[in-house]
């Protein structure tokens, strides 16, 4: 997925995409819509440029509350650890979801940073990932914090059991 349009710029084949991206980056696309009580992502069959969707979100509603965005994985990201994504590493520290079903259909996968780094495990976890966490959900806040180590997460999870 080089861009949301068929006339994508040549040379972007090497670009990795973040499935937990920023809504307002120029290349951002809507990856899916949050649905149900748990806020699971329901993936769109085709990407939609975020710039086309953002004006339709009512004032006062954070775009990440209702939509999931993908944007380029950038070297300046707070979650970047060398060439790796520290966020997916922290997410993989959480107890594994039921991974017996098929992975969700996703247009991002061929260029997804999480897929490249963690494979099918990332795809099983991806629908449950939120980019707007409640401050009351201490575990989600820890996972989202780039300064949290996997060891800290493992310790927190063990203490909570």
pLDDT in tens, 22-53: 999 999 999 999 887 667 888 898 989 999 99
* Terminal C-alpha separation, the chain: 40
Does 69 score more than 80 pLDDT?
A: yes
Task: Find, among 70, 51, 49, 69, the residue nearest to 4 by Cα.
Answer: 49
Residue bearing the bigger pLDDT, 147 or 119: 119
Tokens of 44: 């769109």
pLDDT band, residue 139 (cuts 50/70/90): confident
> Looking at residue 26, what is its pLDDT?
95
Residues 123-129, mean pLDDT to the nearest whole number = 84
Residues 81-108, mean pLDDT to the nearest whole number = 84
Residues 91-96, mean pLDDT to the nearest whole number = 84
> Looking at residue 99, what is its pLDDT?
65
Residues 18-23, mean pLDDT to the nearest whole number = 92
């Amino acid at each position: 997925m080089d861009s949301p349009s068929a006339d994508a710029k040549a040379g972007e084949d090497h670009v990795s995409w973040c499935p937990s991206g920023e809504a307002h980056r120029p290349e951002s696309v809507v990856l899916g819509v949050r649905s149900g009580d748990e806020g699971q992502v329901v993936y769109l069959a085709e990407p939609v440029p975020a710039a086309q969707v953002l004006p339709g979100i009512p004032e006062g509603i954070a775009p990440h509350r209702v939509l999931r965005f993908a944007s380029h994985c950038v070297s300046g990201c707070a979650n970047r650890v060398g060439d790796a994504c520290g966020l997916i590493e922290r997410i993989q520290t959480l107890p594994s979801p039921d991974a017996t079903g098929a992975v969700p259909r996703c247009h991002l996968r061929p260029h997804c940073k999480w897929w490249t780094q963690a494979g099918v495990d990332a795809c099983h976890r991806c629908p449950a990932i939120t980019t707007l966490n409640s401050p009351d959900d201490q575990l989600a806040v820890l996972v989202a914090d780039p300064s949290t180590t996997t060891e800290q997460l493992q310790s927190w999870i063990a203490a909570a059991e």
